[in-house]
Amino acid sequence: MEKQKIYNFSAGPAVLPEVVLKEAAEAVVNYDNHSMSILEMSHRSAPIVDMITETRQLIHQFLNVPDNYRILFLQGGASLQFSMIPMNILTDDVTADYTDTGAWSAKAIKEARIYGKVNVVCSSKETVYNHIPKDFEQSSDQVYLHITTNNTIYGTQWFEFPDANGFLVSDMSSDIFSRPIDVSKFGIIYAGAQKNMGPAGVTIVILREDLIGKSGRDLPAMLDFAIHSEKDSMFNTPPVFAIYVVNRTLHWLNHLGGIEEIFEQNKAKAKLLYGEIERNPIFKSPVAKEDRSLMNVPFIFANGGDEKDFLNYCAKRGLVTLKGHRSVGGFRASIYNAMPKEGVKNLVDAIQNYSQS
């Protein structure tokens, strides 16, 4: 009997392209015909150095990263960057402005306050983070303005980036490589891989060179951007296998046609799913229409219903990990780059059929 196709709507760790998984599996046994597993090869060996160099070049290519930026491969997830950025950037005589648009931005605010003055310029917490506040006043002594471009739990996304008094810092963990961006608008971009470009274990930091070594603090080496930049992300053993999967995912993206093409696909998938949620009388979206994420689509029963029953109905059809975050309930479909349109169509069919059953 043919095995049922599974569509994984998890918010992270998330779906990866099937071809990438197969390449990663092969590399675990025999990396690039070197008769060794990538897991046991030195990070300073020529094949691995070449792979990491190529990965950096692919990031430059896809995001049009200007020459005055460094691309670092770090560990600790985006959560470590909540501390590492203010530790390296925020000094006693300036203010860091933060936008509070979800759980992860709130965690970033908490960590930044350990290292200096933080001003929360806006928040949508009182409305359960159902929109992106856009009318706010920034500090005159601002060093940077921090945004979380896509909020995985609440399903909101910045579609137009604000102009910062200082420079813009962004957590792009869940929407990097999903749409074109102008990197020059940002001083720092950081992203954990496990949402949209690879497995957990590596964090990409895109850092403008003039921001390196400015804190005046005596920092631990592992938390110092200057050290990681000087050592080309090789101060200690980097997460080689995770970087390799990012590499293959970027090659997959290149084969599809690059950022512009995947952006069109992502818009089409989101339109299809939001359209059904709007049309269907038993479901609704809790998110302001103009701020609805292209990556994470939360939806709830319009007038009450049995959430467990709907989740079981979907699971029997191979549609899994659709349960909403525990803080908000309901349902959430994460439709990252690697989620095929077929998966979204199957979910739309399930929503239609369930409402008629």
**DSSP-derived secondary structure for 292-303:** B-SSEEEEEESS
Q: Which of 117, 158, 175, 195 is catalytic?
A: 195
Q: Are 314 and 350 in contact (CB under 8 A)?
A: yes
- Assess whether 214 carries a catalytic annotation: no
Q: Is 25 exposed, middle or buried (0-12, 13-18, 19+ CB in 10 A)?
A: exposed
- Assess whether 252 carries a catalytic annotation: no
Greatest CA separation for the chain: 68
Q: Are 292 and 131 in contact (CB under 8 A)?
A: no
Tokens at 139, concatenated: 């500090």
Q: Which of 100, 104, 158, 224 is catalytic?
A: 104
**DSSP-derived secondary structure for 233-266:** T-SS---HHHHHHHHHHHHHHHHHT-HHHHHHHH
The Cα–Cα gap between 16 and 8 comes to 9
- Assess whether 309 carries a catalytic annotation: no
User: Under 8 Å CB-to-CB from 6, ≥6 apart: which residues?
Assistant: 318, 320
Q: Which of 100, 117, 158, 171 is catalytic?
A: 171
- Return the active site residues: 104, 171, 195
